[in-house]
Structure 1
Amino acid sequence: MDFPTPLISGTLIKRYKRFLSDITLENGEVVTAHCANSGSMMGLKEPGYKVWLSKSDNPKRKLKFSWELVDTGPALVGVNTSHPNKIVSEAISNREVPELAGYDTLRNEVKYGENSRIDILLQSEGKADCYVEVKNVTLSREDGLAEFPDAVTARGTKHLKELANMVEQGHRATMFYLVQRTDCDRFRLASDIDPAYSEAFKEAVAAGVEIICYDCHITPERIGINHTISLIEND
């Protein structure tokens, strides 16, 4: 996924009210940017971090800037949760995800289950439909180890149960964890943060839901999938 316009760098002052962030641009101007991330953003919102913003020319937008990237020192991290579906869809279309190859059509945000929408639906005549749910992973509390979630996610637990139901109905279902960090080669669930999600994960895997995890190559110009990374099972 290429950023359509060059990103603008600045220094984070604070993130607040979940969806707002104040940033000092390199020219000294202080702007308020939209933060499209409803998680806790643990370890990513320290004042003084270097960040990158995109700027919209849409006259109807109240906030012209959106927070895209943060440099934590060890890593560049993508914080905009509106991008993962596009990143993964692009990678599948470009045949960069062999686990999800061989389908004729790809559709996004298709209604399914109990009042839910699947991030990606892959279909081919003569093959079982493949339901792909994408989760954005940004938390790292240990060197080289990415974790999900960074906050309690009842919605995420619901998605795991919905995927398990799809398998029961004869379809294929996949949970795709996209690690938008450049410093991790392992992944595990943050069971201490959300035990209910961890339990639902175990039940989903037992039901036949497949797990895929990739990290990302990230620059201020582009974000794309990089390599598969290993899943570390919780004790």
Structure 2
Amino acid sequence: MRYKNIVEGIFVKRLNRFIAKVFIDGKSEEVHVKNTGRCQELFIEGVKVYLEKSDNPNRKTRYSLIGIYKGDVLVNIDSQVPNQVIYEALIAGEIREIGQVSHASREVTYGTSRFDIYYEKGLEKGFIEVKGVTLEEAGLALFPDAPTIRGTKHINELVKGMKEGYKNYVCFLIQIEHIHSFRPHHERDRAFADSLYQAIDTGLGVLVYNSKLGRDTIELGGSGLLLNQTYK
């Protein structure tokens, strides 16, 4: 996926979940933050950021914050883009655990949940729920960075669907390059981690992929590793 009208800026501070202050060309701007997660390890005063300039003259904020540097590592923080990246990769047959599908559609309701992707492959059919991952510690990617009741609900609904014949997956797209491993962040959300591990034991498919990032691009990278470890 490619963004349009990308500019550089310097991060100042986050004002609330949706708005941050950024210097662009030496001028202070209030910009939209395309991620409602905590991202505390990323939002550091003085770091370089990338923003997409809106072409809508009636929008309250002229820019959206989509990328931020953590040291010399670029992190894409756009929480809307993982769904698009995985959908495009699925259509292109690049999700090797699934292969080439015969049909795919987005934002499909099942039960009381709306899943990101529905797919068909011959007689096989299923749902894919996509989670973007921006939290990293020494090369280890972790999800979530804050408790997610909605995420746990999605896992439980995916398991329910499997009992009715669907081949379901949860996909974690790590919005960083060169990550060597991944696991659920049970220190932040034990309920989500427990639900995920239990779902794996019952056959839920887990996809973990890195991203290839550029100044104005994000694409599917290499597969990562789910650390299916025990904990107390």
Identify whether the pair has TM-score above 0.5, normalized to the shorter chain: yes
SS of the equivalent of 1:70 reads strand
* 1:191–1:11 Cα change, 3 Å: same
One-letter code aligned to 2:43: K
Find runs of 4+ consecutive structure 1 residues off by over 4 angstroms. Answer: none
Q: Which runs of 5+ in 2 are unaligned?
A: none
Q: Is the contact between residue 13 and residue 22 of structure 2 (CA under 8 Å) also seen in structure 1?
A: yes
Q: Is the contact between residue 42 and residue 150 of structure 1 (CA under 8 Å) also seen in structure 2?
A: no
Alignment of 1:23 onto 2:18? no
Alignment: residue pair count: 230
Q: Is the contact between residue 42 and residue 139 of structure 1 (CA under 8 Å) also seen in structure 2?
A: no
Q: Is the contact between residue 53 and residue 63 of structure 2 (CA under 8 Å) also seen in structure 1?
A: yes
Counterpart position of 1:174 = 169
Q: Is the contact between residue 84 and residue 134 of structure 1 (CA under 8 Å) also seen in structure 2?
A: yes
One-letter code aligned to 2:85: I
Q: Is the contact between residue 91 and residue 100 of structure 2 (CA under 8 Å) also seen in structure 1?
A: no
Q: Is the contact between residue 170 and residue 204 of structure 2 (CA under 8 Å) also seen in structure 1?
A: yes
Counterpart position of 2:143 = 148
Counterpart position of 2:153 = 158
Deviations along 1:165-186, one digit per CA (max 9) or x if unpaired, are 1101111100000000124121
Please give the residue correspondences for 1:91-130 in structure 2 after superposition, counting only pairs within 5 Å: 91-114=89-112, 116-124=113-121, 126-130=122-126
Deviation of the 1:54 alpha carbon: 0.1
Q: Is the contact between residue 93 and residue 101 of structure 2 (CA under 8 Å) also seen in structure 1?
A: no
One-letter code aligned to 2:109: K
1:98 and 1:18 map into 2 onto residues whose CA distance is 36
Identity over aligned residues, as a percent?
Answer: 32
1:24 and 1:183 map into 2 onto residues whose CA distance is 29
Deviations along 1:77-116, one digit per CA (max 9) or x if unpaired, are 01010111001111112222111223211100011121x2
Counterpart position of 1:135 = 131
Deviation of the 1:210 alpha carbon: 0.4
One-letter code aligned to 2:133: V
Deviation of the 1:16 alpha carbon: 2.5
Counterpart position of 2:193 = 198
SS of the equivalent of 1:135 reads strand
Deviation of the 1:6 alpha carbon: 3.4
Deviation of the 1:60 alpha carbon: 3.3
One-letter code aligned to 1:150: D
Deviation of the 1:207 alpha carbon: 2.0
Counterpart position of 2:35 = 37
One-letter code aligned to 2:53: K
> Which one of the candidate residues 210, 221, 229 is aligned to 2:216?
221
Deviation of the 1:42 alpha carbon: 3.1
TM-score for both structures, normalised by structure 2 = 0.95
Q: Is the contact between residue 69 and residue 76 of structure 1 (CA under 8 Å) also seen in structure 2?
A: yes
Deviation of the 1:232 alpha carbon: 1.4
One-letter code aligned to 2:65: W
1:166 and 1:149 map into 2 onto residues whose CA distance is 23
1:210 and 1:54 map into 2 onto residues whose CA distance is 34
2:229 and 2:99 map into 1 onto residues whose CA distance is 29
Deviation of the 1:8 alpha carbon: 0.5
